[in-house]
Chain A
Amino acid sequence: MSLSDKKKSKGLRYGGAILFLFSIPLIVRGQYTLHILIMAAMNIILASSLRLVASSGQLSMAHGGMMTIGAYTSALLVMKLGISSWAALPLAGLAAAALALLVGFPFVRIKGIYFAMVTVFLAEMITLTAEHWRSLTGGSSGVVNIPPPDPLVIPGLISIDFPTKTEFYYFILVLMLVTLLFLYAIERSRIGLTLISIQQTELLSESVGVNTSRFKVLAFCIGCFFAGIVGSFYSQYINVITPRSFEFFFAIYIIVYMIVGGIKKFSGPIYGAFILTIFPEFIRALKEFQPFIFAGLLMLAIFFLPDGLVDLRRQWDKFYEKRFNRA
């Protein structure tokens, strides 16, 4: 097979997969199933954008806090200022990115586990601010009755509004595909290469003239931008946002998706977020014993697949080969 053929078959595969994703609402009628798929798509965006931050060697636990920023920004812009929800969506992302930029330069001086912890405190402070600033945010009870997205009108052609989960599914699907394309392009660009060089050897990259803190802040900002966008989407989808909608454990779960899926490959967080979001649904019948199975799965994955779930096939091949060669 020649190179162009290979490229063609790869393109065909991706095209087929995307076509399949778009046709899911035609096959799946259950609203609950669609809801789970919407959640999975949200988690894929979150875990993949977190991986960009992590690719510069920083583990951020502020993704939940950044979603809170995005969700409140978009809800308040739409409800108090009457801005179109389609303008509020990118503004929510920009608000999160702006906060990331503001704290970024001082934060990236803090290394390793300290950085992770500082981001925990940042997220906690965002939550506490939302709880404390009652006149703007409504305090602990949050903002309720957030309107769904405005109808999407292309004059003379179509008008889409958002009465059911199907429309939200298409909304998040497009958002997810665009995000992944963007993140992939960054990873393959000079910026992506520079980030990896910083992660592997920060001193050396500095010595060849890379402004490492600028690149780290850039990665942090872009990652937080997408968290803000997802927060805005969530507020329009669920209609309610409270200061504790995305608290500590929410951010922890995004990290779990990323690491258990596999941090080394671009596809890792995608598989991790998808599998770990839908897996609990299959063992729902176990009721209170469900978390035990989930925890067991996490630990088994970490014990046997150091490079994440995406490495399953290679590890399995290795195992298989070993057994046959011995026999």
Chain B
Amino acid sequence: MITQSILNGLVLGGIYILVALGLTLILSIMGIVQLAHGEVYMLGAYAMYYLCVHAGLNFLLAILISAFLVGGLGVLLEKYFFRPFRGKMERALIISIGLILLLQNAVLVIAGGTPRAFASPFSGMISVLGVTLSLERLIVISVAFGLVLVLFFLIKMTKVGQAMVAISQDREVAALQGINIDRISSIAMFLGCAFAAVSGALVGALFSVSPFMGGFALMKGIAVIILGGMGSILGAVLGGLLLGLIDGVVPVYSTTHMAGLIGFGFIILILLFKPQGMLGREFE
């Protein structure tokens, strides 16, 4: 029972981390809080639904295509909606609220409000050391943590990654060094949105898909980056794991409300002692 709930916690944690990584990338490169990130995640889930059910594509191929489609949309959003408001927190907030309304209602008009479900092809169970694990959940965990590793190496090893670090530390100085901020911003937005899309696609396969699924993901994503500290990948991973475990284990013994209370209470407590989150730094 306890192993099972810890496993569930890891699954949730993986999903939260993928959403949070996108948010934290966008925040540290562009200096804005993208509230429509939950809707991007929802679009990823819907793309997956159409690709799997209507086009009959292979599961993993569909995830890949959905990530590229939604990532491409992210590039467009960055160029036409967020670029003029880089670093302008309040005005960018309103733009992202407008985007929530646009995207949510677009999906509502096109696909309707009824939740939809699709099955993932990995329905088997495997037994390891007496614990039964559903293959479906293992896939979620491995995809999520695989992507975290990819992002980690991207940032540590590549020039683009180092440019991202530079911009997040000081945008003007980075620009003086010849870093093309527009280009890096679009790459960050592409990655962030693609990660959210993968997360949405995985959730869609586990549970169901609806136009309103984004709010939950946004709330958890924000909670994770606040807890871990904004702009820190390791912080997002730690925060995601912690919140995922709380959400996975606590409901077994109490209610989901209690899990939420403990999670948010824990974050507020951490912030009181460490106002920048566990591994973060200050943002204006």
Contact = CB atoms under 8 A, between A and B. Distances in A.
B161 interface: no
A59 B268 contact: no
A256 B226 contact: no
A288 B283 contact: no
Interface stretch (A93-101, A170-178, A296-304, A317-325): A296-304
Contacts of B267: 118, 121
Contacts of A113: 27, 33, 89, 230, 283
Nearest to B223: A121
A112 B282 contact: yes
Contacts of A259: 90-91, 93-94
Contacts of B64: none
Nearest to A296: B98
A111 interface: yes
Contacts of B258: 132
Contacts of B94: 256, 259-260, 298-299, 301-302
B171 to A, nearest CB: 16
B97 to A, nearest CB: 6
Interface string B81-107: 100110001110111011101101110
Interface in B82-137: 84-85, 89-91, 93-95, 97-99, 101-102, 104-106, 108-109
Interface in B21-52: 27, 33, 35
Interface string A82-124: 0000000000000000000000001001111110011011101
A40 interface: no
Determine chain B's interface SS by DSSP, over half rule: helix
Interface string A275-299: 0000000000000110110111011
Contacts of A296: 98
Contact of A125 (B85, B108, B261): B261
Contacts of B226: 114, 117-118, 121
A252 interface: yes
Contacts of A25: none
A111 B33 CA distance: 15
Contact of A118 (B230, B271, B283): B271
B242 to A, nearest CB: 14
Chain A facing B: main interface SS: helix
B72 interface: no
A252 B222 CA distance: 15
A120 to B, nearest CB: 7
Contact of A129 (B81, B105, B261): B261
A113 B32 CA distance: 10
Contacts, number: 109
A147 interface: no
B149 interface: no
A246 interface: no
B283 A291 contact: no
A215 interface: no
Q: How large is the interface on A (under 10, 10 to 19, 20 to 34, 35 or more residues)?
A: 35 or more
B41 to A, nearest CB: 16
A13 B95 CA distance: 35
Given A124-B260, A128-B261, A129-B261, A118 B268 contact: yes
A140 to B, nearest CB: 9
Contacts of B85: 302
B102 A132 contact: no
Nearest to B99: A295
A66 B64 CA distance: 43
B74 to A, nearest CB: 17
A248 interface: yes
Contacts of A311: none
Interface string B188-226: 000000000000000000000000000100010011001
B98 A298 contact: yes
A117 B222 contact: yes
Contact of B284 (A106, A112, A302): A112
Interface string B261-274: 10011011001100
A72 B56 CA distance: 51
Nearest to B35: A252
Nearest to B103: A295
B126 to A, nearest CB: 36
29 contacts: A59-B90, A106-B272, A109-B275, A110-B271, A110-B275, A111-B282, A112-B89, A114-B226, A114-B275, A114-B283, A117-B226, A118-B268, A120-B219, A120-B222, A121-B223, A124-B264, A125-B268, A131-B257, A132-B261, A256-B94, A260-B94, A291-B101, A292-B106, A294-B101, A295-B98, A295-B101, A299-B94, A299-B95, A306-B91
Given A114-B277, A256-B94, A291-B101, 7 more contacts: A110-B272, A118-B226, A121-B226, A121-B264, A291-B105, A296-B98, A302-B98
Interface of B: 27, 33, 35, 81, 84-85, 89-91, 93-95, 97-99, 101-102, 104-106, 108-109, 215, 219, 222-223, 226, 230, 255, 257-258, 260-261, 264-265, 267-268, 271-272, 275-277, 282-284
